Structures are given as structure tokens and as C-alpha cells.
A and B are shown apart, each in its own frame.
Chain A
Amino acid sequence: MSMIEIKGLKKSFGDLEVLKGIDQNVEEGEVLCIVGPSGSGKSTMLRCINRLEEPTAGEIYIDGEQVTEGNIDRMRTKMGMVFQSFNLFPHKSVLENLTIGPLNVKKADKKEIEEKAMKLLDRVGLAEKANEYPRNLSGGQQQRVAIARALAMDPEVILFDEPTSALDPEMVGEVLDVMKDLATEGMTMVVVTHEMGFAKEVANKVIFMDGGYIVEQGTPEEVLNNPQEPRTKDFLSKVLV
């Protein structure tokens, strides 16, 4: 059984059909990178997985359970999400950003979850920032906190929506390093990204999307170094200067 199964996923915004039928599986411990030009539907696909966008048609399963039916709140505790613009809670300290989910959603023990949150902050190299507020952190630091916040819920999958696109170039590396560590430790990850270097190094599978379809998929070697489809070749020739 796959960790994530997507069957016949379609999504329209009014008359505009953004996803025109997506079928895709992600196995446990796999890192799937989604690349493609803007407007190709890759973020929409990611946001359909945890129903931040409501699919128009199709089915999505996480660990065998259907996401597209039933209580979405409980299903969301299985999948963390990391946003392009971090979306940390500005009125909460860094530590509280990590604990507010487990405390309120999972009714976790306060002392236990705080200890765990400190370990997670240590893991992303920010233990000394626990009592700071997000506004006092750099973009790279905020994104590392956002990853730790997702981890604090013990998710089975983490969805990354262009996690480095809003960062200054010198901060991209620190965030990608944290993501590489996660991949090494066996976290199942779906990453919408423009970082081809990261995709080549870390992904088990890469899909290239354009016009609401998956145009090409395979290993990073196949898709990024030896693309078959003209649209993939054209896109890569523009981004890999």
C-alpha cells in the first residue's frame, strides 16, 4: 500500500481547469519532487492532498484512508505542510508555534510536548531561539521553525509548497540542509520546488507538470538529465542555465 495515492484528481476554479486528471503514488519514505512552470498546477495538486483546495473530482488516500471524504481535521494531523511564506503565528513565541498544534489538536501533555519541541528546535539548529518571536528571526530561520512546527505533530508525510522561493539566496542552503536530513531519516516528502539541484540530489522520483497534466515522470536522472518530452526539455533549458 502506498503512503499517498492520488486517483483521477481534477480541480477547477470556476471555468478554469487547473488539474486535468492526476494519478500518482508516493511510497513510504519516498521523496517526490514536483517541478514545472508557474501555472502548471503543481501547488494546486499539493494543496488538494490536504484539502486546502477542495478537489473537483478524484480520490486521494493517505496510508489507505480516504482524504477526500470524512473528517479532514483528523486526516490533516497525518500530513504536515510547509508554506512558501512560512506562515508562523506572529503572536506566539517560537516554542509556542511548535506546541500550539499538539496541545490543542492532540491534547498532548504540556511538559512532554515542550521537551519534544525543544529537541526539534535543536534538530533544526534553533534551540536558542525558543523564546523569541518569529518577527525577530531571519527568513531561513523562520522556515526552519515552520518545518519543526510540522514535525511536532508527528506527521507521516510532509508537504512542501515552494519552501525556498521566498528566501534570500544565502538562506536557501540552510533550509535545504534541514530537508535533506529529513529525507535521509526516511520522512515521506512531497516537494514543489524550483531547486533542481535539490531535486537531483534528494528526490527518489521527479514529476514534471505542465498545463494541468503530469507530462513526464521518473528518477531525477531520467527526468532532469535525460528528458524525453519536448515540453520538459524546453522548461529545463530555461531553468538550468
Chain B
Amino acid sequence: MGVYLKGFLIACKGIPATVAVSLVAIVIGAALGLLLALCSQTKSKVLQVIAKVYVDVVRGTPMLVQALIMAYGIPWLLQSWGIGFKWDDFGGMAVPAIIVCGCNSAAYMSEVIRSGIQAIDKGQMEAARSLGMTHGMAMRLIIIPQAVRVILPAFANEFVTLIKETSVLGYVGVVEILRRGQLWNSSSFETFPAYIGVALAYMILTIPLSKIINGYERKMARRESAA
């Protein structure tokens, strides 16, 4: 039994790295996602196309491939142009990892945010404007606060997904949960305990989060039905 506990504890050492990358990435994803959502709703055809192409490219390729391009492909390209570029000079391998996770989740978040804003009845915007509010004021005080309630469960689900997806980042030099387990496996050859420990470490992050989301959704559903 001790060997399983050891595997679990070693995997847990990767939790700070996994959580840190996920947290920064979800913030980037939400901000960039909001920007993409707003672009896709503007009257400008150019901005619409940019948003559409971005989402298609990101959703159409595996995150591991994106991570390899960002971590190794980009420095290779820059060096071939004679620019001496190393991620280590810019904060280490966690930086491309965070960028890729953030850009990846932005593509998904933009869809979630767009549908959240569209779910708000257009009478809300009209009522706000008829009181003399500017478009920005109406978005900030009336539309976004209501959209956030709609979006929140999907946003949290995306965070859970992101935590699991960061497991590919071991391949680009980030020592997160899975990488910790792999490193211990290759020195101890305790293969089964190592990977079970990794799985458990992910579960203590994702399962409580999912429970919280379900609780929130039930609470919202009760409030809806009371209306």
C-alpha cells in the first residue's frame, strides 16, 4: 500500500504547476474569449472572419500539436531567421505552455460567452437604452451580469477540461502532475502505482469542482422554476 501512497504524493507535487498553468490560462482564455465573442458579433466582416478562422484553426488541431509548435517550432523558426530566441530567456517553458492553454481555451470560451450574451432577451438592452444608458453602460450593468449567470457553469466546466488537458504539457518541458508520475516511474519502475497516483491527483482537483458546478446549476434551476 505504501508504494501507492508514495506514487500519489509524488504526483501531488505537480499540483501547483498544473493549477498555476490552468488558472493563468483560464484568465487569458476568458479575456481573449470575450474579445473573440465581441468580434464575432460586430458589423465588421473582417473582425468576424478573423474570429471565425481563429476558432476553426484552434478547434481543428490537437492541443499537443499546438504546444509543440509554440514551444519548439517557433524558436526554431526564429533561429532560422537569425534571431537567437529561447523560451528560457522569457521565463521558461511554462510560458509557451500557458499561452497555448490560454489561446486554446479562448476558442471554446468565445462560443460560450457569445451564446450567453445572445441568451439575454433583447428587451433588456432596449429597456436599458430607453433609460438613457449608453451601449457600454447597458452591457456592463444589465447584459453582462445576466450573461455571467448563464455562462458560469460552462465556464467552470471549461476550467475542469483545461486542468485535464494540461497533462500534455509534460511533452514541452512543464513538470506538472503527469510528468511527476512519469519521472518517478522511470526511476522506480513502479508503473501501476505511479499512474494510479497521477489519476488520483487529477481527481482531487476535478471532482470537487464538478460537484460545486452541479450544486450551482441545481440552485439556479430551483430559482428558475420558482419564477
Contact = CB atoms under 8 A, between A and B. Distances in A.
Contacts, number: 59
A74 B126 CA distance: 15
Interface in B168-227: 223, 226-227
Interface in B17-38: none
A77 interface: yes
A87 B146 CA distance: 13
A153 B149 CA distance: 28
A101 B142 contact: no
B50 interface: no
A74 B132 contact: yes
Nearest to A102: B131
Nearest to B142: A89
Interface in B125-139: 126-134, 137
Given A90-B146, A91-B149, A100-B141, A76 B132 contact: yes
Contact of A87 (B124, B132, B149, B226): B124
Given A91-B146, A91-B149, A73 B134 contact: yes
A52 B133 contact: no
B130 A52 contact: yes
Interface in A58-94: 73-74, 76-77, 79-81, 83, 85, 87-91
A110 interface: no
Q: Which 7 pairs of residues, A with B, have the shortest CB-CB distance?
A: A101-B131, A87-B127, A135-B227, A77-B132, A81-B130, A87-B123, A105-B132
Interface of A: 50, 52, 73-74, 76-77, 79-81, 83, 85, 87-91, 100-101, 104-106, 135-136, 149, 153
15 contacts: A73-B132, A76-B131, A77-B131, A79-B130, A83-B126, A83-B127, A87-B124, A91-B149, A101-B131, A104-B141, A135-B223, A135-B226, A135-B227, A136-B227, A153-B132
